[in-house]
Amino acid sequence: MVSIISVAKAAGVSNKTVSRVINGEPHVTEETRERVEKAIRDLGYVPNMAARQIRSSRSNTFGIITDYVSTTPYSVDIVRGIQDWANANGKTILIANTVGSSEREATIWKMFQSHRIDGVLYVTMYRRIVDPAAGDVSIPTVMVNCRPQTAEDWPSIEPDDFQGAQDLTRHLLERGHRKIGYIRLNPILLGAELRLDAVRQTAREFGLADSDLSIRLGMEGPVGAEENYVFAAATEILQQRDRPTAIMSGNDEMAIQIYIAAMALGFRIPQDISIVGFDDFRTVSMALKPQLTTAALPYYDLGLQGAEWLNRVVAGDKIRPSRRVLACNLIERDSVCSV
């Protein structure tokens, strides 16, 4: 492989001068610079990151450690956000998946160490509280879509499930819906409770009685192997005597079954029954007919801002507050109408 020395020879200068040109340092004649640049081009020289790192002891690399994110369809946008930021800022990204194993997690931290990673983004697929097995390792870390169980040593950045569900509920209430069905997310998920609370609270603010809300459990059990009650729950809600005019789904995926349940009973969407989702998982929300009104999880921005934040932490900034929350914007499509 062609090294800085061959370039120096070809250009008739010292290796240090080549280094200066490569790193855009000042104090190089325009003429020398051009000569060096020509030599670089002619020889096809590409700097060796490993050598650079070993000397400067900064790897310019961030690690992403995640449960399943990068291998699961749901939250890939977090990774995209991180990559875009890294890309724009000349950082390299290393991704590793724990797949839920804490043994594997320990291995990953070691691996990160051996690559002398500058910082870590700890990302989870579902928003949740975690207890990272970092062990003795101390690398600057920012948590994305999750937060630490114990002390707030590490900054975290999360979606605002509460506000998202609030907006969605208001959207319905402002369109005259006074009886609303809600099919709950798996209670294991942190978002489940927040979303449900928001629905309840907002309904109350608009003067609804608790009995105006038909709340049913949609899923239950360990993530990836849950029991699915959505279809049955939707069917039951829709067959009530004084049935709701709108159903809120714990997420977009569950909305598929609500659509099907509604149609099986002969209801038209949205004329007979309005439906909203949550997440804006587009493969579903845009494939449904009519397209689904939902609240978008700010995954891309979570990743982008998480990376940016980590960069600041690595640089030594002490940033407050150490917990940040990003809005879930309402995406209005065609599954809701006024009553």
Partner DNA sequence: TTGTAAGCGTTATCAG
Partner DNA sequence: CTGATAACGCTTACAA
User: Which chain residues interact with a second copy by CB under 8 A?
Assistant: 1, 44, 46-51, 53-54, 57, 59, 70-74, 76-77, 79-80, 83, 87, 92-97, 110-111, 113-116, 136, 231, 253-254, 256-257, 259-261, 263-264, 266, 268, 281, 283-284, 287-289
Least separation in angstroms between CB 49 and a second copy: 5
Interacting partner of 60 out of a second copy, DNA, none (Cβ under 5 to 8 A depending on kind): none
Q: Of 253, 247, 195, whose CA–CA distance to 219 is shortest? A: 253
Contacts of 149 (CB under 8 A, 6+ apart): 129, 130, 131
Does 3 contact DNA by CB under 7 A? yes
The CB-of-125 to a second copy minimum distance in angstroms stands at 11
Closest separation between CB of residue 229 and a second copy, Å? 12
Pairing between β-strand 180-184 and β-strand 141-148 as defined by DSSP bridges: unpaired
Q: Which residues of 181-202 are buried (b: 16+ CB within 10 A; e: fewer)?
A: bbbbbbeebbbbebbbebbbeb
Of 37, 43, 52, 72, the one binding DNA (CB under 7 A) is 52
- Amino acid letter, residue 10: A
Q: Applying CB under 7 A, which part among 42-50, 60-68, 134-142, 289-297 lies near DNA?
A: 42-50
Strands 213-217 vs 294-296: parallel, antiparallel or unpaired? unpaired
Report how far residue 145's alpha carbon sits from residue 158's, in angstroms, rounded to the nearest whole number: 5
Give yes or no for a contact between 257 and 242, defined as CB atoms under 8 angstroms apart: no
Among 9, 37, 43, 47, binds DNA (CB under 7 A): 47
Q: Is 39 in the site for DNA (CB under 7 A)?
A: no
The residue among 28 and 215 lying less far from DNA, judged by its C-beta, is 28
**246-249 and 180-184: which strand pairing?**
parallel
Asked if residue 40 binds DNA (CB under 7 A), the reply is: no
Q: Is residue 32 involved in binding DNA (CB under 7 A)?
A: yes
CA–CA distance, 233 with 259 (Å, rounded to integer): 12
CA distance 46 to 57: 19
The partner in contact with residue 329, picked from a second copy, DNA, none with C-beta cut-offs of 5 to 8 angstroms by kind, is: none
Task: Report the partner that residue 5 touches, choosing among a second copy, DNA, none (CB closer than 5 to 8 A by kind).
Answer: DNA
Determine the Cα–Cα distance for residues 85 and 76; give it in Å rounded to an integer: 15
- Interface with DNA by CB under 7 A: which residues? 1, 3-5, 12-17, 19-20, 22-23, 26-29, 31-32, 45-48, 51-52, 54-57
